[in-house]
Amino acid sequence: MTEITKLAPEIVWRQFDAITRIPRPSKKEGRMIEYLVAFAREHGLPCMQDAAGNVVIRKGATKGMENRPTVTLQSHMDMVCEKRGDVAFDFEQDPIRAYVDDGWVKAEGTTLGADDGIGMAAALALLASGEIAHGPLEALFTVDEETGLTGAFNLGEEMISGRYLVNLDSEDEGEIFIGCAGGIDTVAVFPCGQEPLPAGYVVFRVELSGLKGGHSGDNIGDGLGNSNRLLARLVWLGMEEYALRLARFEGGNLRNAIPREAHTLLAIPREREAEFRQAFERFRQEIEAEYAETEPTLRLTLAPAEADRVLTSASARSLIYALVGLPNGVLAMSHAVPGLVETSSNLASVKFEEGNIVVTTSQRSSVESAKKAAARAVESVFALAGARVSHSDGYPGWTPNPHSHLLEVTTTCYRDLFGTEPKVRAIHAGLECGLFLERHPELEMVSFGPTLRGVHSPDERLEIATVDRFWRLLVAVVQSL
């Protein structure tokens, strides 16, 4: 056990501590599934697993509450696996190293996995407690939420029996979510034509780092830098004005994270090296000024390197022009919900893979037609650049129901507990709720959770004080339905 098990409410933090010790990358949740099945067996609770790997654990009602409707508590098993470049860590083997720091729980150099480990912990705490009165409960734990929602897409027919579903995958205490954006991925594959490095060129490695990164839904409206986008601007400048030849360009990792780092190998004619160095310094100062408020730790470095091959001019031009020209960031704000990002796109990653260059992007919108239009705009840029383009199946948004009984109960419980009115809103991030609603249109749903920051990045942290409020609200809602 770690120091976090001494935090209150202890019943939740002990479960969270146990979860942090179990490796659970997306698509590799096997050990987490084993833990959940063993938990159910230990507590004498019925447990069921579907073909996708999703697990549901059921608990009968407290005596006298058997006639109440079933409440489904839903969270996802997998976590985003991001670490700082200087940290040695194997997400498939190593336990998360969680610690307490000035009112927050953080991890040493990696994502914490509170998204959605803290939601799982709260559900398990309710299942384990013998002191909380409730109607029939079921806790649904889905797989692979972070890299495609495949658990929710392939949910077994009899996994959900509840009338009310409480999603435990939100990140702002004091806010109750009743809607979310749908999403789709657009992937481009560029041919990686190469040729020998011409004579008379000097090679450099340029690294862009120190960006905050973050969730490509929650944080897309925060004005953060996109490492792929910024570095492409520099390469474009070098190609246009200094005869730059591109050897390599890579950046970003996960489709649902704003990329924090990128690097490139590039070559400049020796006689133009001094000019390029001056241009590089001007560019560095420009982007530092451009992002002074939102990215104060941005770093751009230039160092000598080696390479014997470069992309053909045509291959490099196609790639860089596409990266510079792609729609990226906030594309539209909602007119229905003030302050809500309606439509966005994220240039998530650029990777060299087996003779090709693979560029992954994701589009989100709370309006289905706008989501499709954004994906087509991205596809158009890629197609004009000569890339092969494909789209994921995508997932639907969750249309808000501001008149549901579940929302009324949750809002009343919050007001009674804390003496203030919660914010009721939709979220630009994707939740699994839209898929549940497609399969079970009779469901009433809300989503709430404690406060998390830096989600999907090594800066992920969980505010300790809000976990108690989150837990008290969850217990009150379950008791009231």
Cβ partners under 8 Å of residue 206, min gap 6: 231, 234, 263, 264, 266, 280, 300, 301, 302
Cβ partners under 8 Å of residue 165, min gap 6: 71, 72, 74, 433, 436, 443, 444, 445
Residue 4 DSSP class: G
Count CB-CB contacts under 10 A for residue 38.
Answer: 11
Give the Cα separation of 177 and 473 in Å (integer).
14
Give the Cα separation of 180 and 228 in Å (integer).
26
Residue 120 DSSP class: H
Helix H or strand E encompassing 365: strand 356-365
Give the distance from CA 316 to its chain's centroid: 30
User: With contact defined as beta carbons under 8 Å apart, do 383 and 135 qualify?
Assistant: no
Assess whether 459 carries a catalytic annotation.
no
How far is the CA of 350 from the CAs of 88, 147, 312, 357, in angstroms? 23, 17, 18, 7
User: With contact defined as beta carbons under 8 Å apart, do 265 and 305 qualify?
Assistant: yes
**Two tokens, residue 475:** 């217990």
Handedness of CA 220, 291, 229, 84 (dihedral sign): negative
Active-site pick, 17, 78, 207, 342: 78
User: With contact defined as beta carbons under 8 Å apart, do 330 and 222 qualify?
Assistant: no
Active-site pick, 17, 115, 138, 145: 145
Give the Cα separation of 89 and 65 in Å (integer).
47
User: With contact defined as beta carbons under 8 Å apart, do 452 and 460 qualify?
Assistant: yes
Residue 271 DSSP class: G
The position carrying tokens 């067996």 is: 41
Residue 22 DSSP class: S
Give the Cα separation of 32 and 25 in Å (integer).
10
Give the Cα separation of 427 and 180 in Å (integer).
5
Would you name the residues annotated as active-site residues?
78, 145
